[in-house]
Amino acid sequence: MAELNVNQTKSNSISWVRYGCALGALHSAVAIPGVIPITHCGPGCADKQFMSLAFYNGYQGGGYGGGAVVPSTNFSEKEVVFGGTDRLHKLIESSFKILDSDLFVVLTGCIPDIVGDDVSAVVGEFQKKGAPIVVAETGGFRGNNYIGHEIVTKAIIDQFVGDYSGPKEKGSINVWSLLPFMTTFWRGDLSEIKRILEGIGYKVNILFGPDSKGVSEWKNIPKAQFNLVLSPWLGLQTAKHLEEKYGQPFLHVPVIPIGAKETSAFLRKVGEFGGISSKKVESFIKSEEAKYYHYLEYFTDFYAEYWWGLPASYSVVSDSAYNLALNRFLVNQLGLIPSTQIITENPPEEYRDLIREQYRNLASDVSTEVKFEEDSYLIHKSLKDSDFGHKPPIIFGTTWERDLAKELKGVIVEVGFPSSYEVVITRGYVGYRGAFSLLEKIYTTAISASA
């Protein structure tokens, strides 16, 4: 549950919310090619999750199985009184007749979870017949869409992937990282993560997005040599479950790499963990860094000429994955000065000390504190009270921070939910290539603001 703060003690509300409810994890199903979610929830619930998380967040669209495609029972007052299992049963039957899907994922909303619909029994009837379908209980009171994401991944693993006791494939890895659709640039980011891991010799199950092979890739999860959790905390619960279920070890790398320094260090760590030849790893790094620093050399002409008019200090307001990744890049690659850093997705308490520790060592001589806050009123108050020095700041935030950035006479780069002034197709900010997209975005925004 979210922690109460001084703004919430009377109203128990959050201004300008920065995540979805657990049902929003329907997008985790949509993000797997060939998979379609079925929602057992009140009317409008699924549509609201789509419009907020996928549409007004980079205008990512619904694709094959999302948006207007998603079947829903539209749970009404009648179902509240008499139960909605019959309605769900008919909807599933119709979905199998009308929709072509490799796997259906039934997700529940608050109302059926509260009234006690036995959704598992309904889905179980189809599972006994060999139908490709699973169920995940994702009523909003169970947590936000980050929590819902791991509920969905566990449901697919346990109910669809199933048991496995065969051999492991050396050099094959499963990647658990960014939250699909919620992370605005997840498609481009996951593509780059897969590219660089394959570049050092791994066979990569990226699991979500256009570079995933869909359910066949999920079926191969138990065969992987190990699991890679590339995020401050999301995916750890899944990796621990896989360790227990299939005896797979996992490597946890809290910082998603942006730029050559972080990306090269990341590849060396992952290569060493999986026993990849250091010669092969270094060969790929050398090739990538040669191109990276070639482009950066030309960029420095601009940076040297205009440094006096560019922002020197910054704040990041985002989920922990992007917040930490951006801080490492901005400090180590650009030499910017961190001010207030705010993490917005309400990470579980058990992971917060680990996250805080990462900010105490951004560089050898740079550290900063981080705040965990969900309420936009308090987030904006913190930013207004921040010391940005004598230059206007740059705010890495969301659409909610646009007016505040103007008030602070700074510039805004939208990097997280909601990003309704960004149209995102393949763009990503991670790795070697993503760093250049990020640099272009930062300094195009900065010099445009001064025009």
DSSP 22: G
Q: Is the pLDDT of residue 3 over 50?
A: no
- Between the CA of residue 165 and those of 176, 223, 344, what are the distances in Å? 22, 9, 40
d(CA 419, CA 251): 31
Under the banding of pLDDT at 50, 70 and 90, the label for residue 355 is very high
Q: Which amino acid is at 426?
A: T
Q: Specify the range with the lowest mean pLDDT, choosing from 72-76, 148-152, 303-307, 405-409.
A: 303-307
Give SS3 for 235.
Answer: coil
Question: Mean per-residue pLDDT for 60-67?
Answer: 95
Under the banding of pLDDT at 50, 70 and 90, the label for residue 364 is confident
Helix (H) or strand (E) holding 382: helix 376-384
Q: What tokens were used for 126?
A: 């189809």
pLDDT recorded at residue 155? 98
Q: Is the pLDDT of residue 10 over 70?
A: no
d(CA 228, CA 150): 15
- Sign of the dihedral through C-alpha 363, 369, 373, 379: negative
Helix (H) or strand (E) holding 107: strand 103-108
Q: What tokens were used for 338?
A: 């961190």
Percent of the chain scoring above 70 in pLDDT:
97
- Sign of the dihedral through C-alpha 174, 19, 34, 87: positive
- Between the CA of residue 203 and those of 52, 172, 225, 365, 429, what are the distances in Å? 34, 5, 10, 37, 22
Under the banding of pLDDT at 50, 70 and 90, the label for residue 308 is confident
Question: Mean per-residue pLDDT for 320-339?
Answer: 96
Under the banding of pLDDT at 50, 70 and 90, the label for residue 382 is very high
Between residues 5 and 140, which one has the greater pLDDT? 140
pLDDT tens digit string along 181-235? 999 999 999 999 999 999 999 999 999 999 999 999 999 999 999 999 999 999 9
DSSP 53: I
Asked if residue 418 has a cis previous peptide bond (ω within 30° of 0), the answer is: yes
- Between the CA of residue 403 and those of 399, 407, 419, what are the distances in Å? 8, 6, 14
pLDDT recorded at residue 80? 74
Q: What tokens were used for 368?
A: 């900063």
pLDDT recorded at residue 13? 77
pLDDT recorded at residue 194? 98
pLDDT recorded at residue 41? 93
Q: Which amino acid is at 99?
A: L
How many residues can be counted in the chain?
A: 451
DSSP 422: -
d(CA 105, CA 159): 10
Q: Which amino acid is at 37?
A: P
235: left (phi over 0), alpha (psi -120 to 50) or beta: left
pLDDT tens digit string along 249-301? 999 999 999 999 999 999 999 999 999 999 999 999 999 999 999 999 999 99
176 CB contacts (<8 Å, ≥6 apart)? 153, 207, 227, 228, 229, 230, 231, 234, 235, 238, 239
Q: Which amino acid is at 155?
A: A
Buried/exposed 155-173: b ≥16 CB within 10 Å, e otherwise: bbbebbbeeeeeebeeebb
Under the banding of pLDDT at 50, 70 and 90, the label for residue 12 is low
pLDDT recorded at residue 226? 98
Domains and CATH numbers, the chain: 22-161 (3.40.50.1980), 169-278 (3.40.50.1980), 292-449 (3.40.50.1980)
pLDDT recorded at residue 451? 63
Q: Specify the range with the lowest mean pLDDT, choosing from 64-78, 169-183, 309-323, 332-346.
A: 64-78
pLDDT recorded at residue 146? 98
Pair 140, 151: CB distance under 8 Å: no
Q: Is the pLDDT of residue 1 over 60?
A: no
- Sign of the dihedral through C-alpha 441, 442, 444, 446: positive
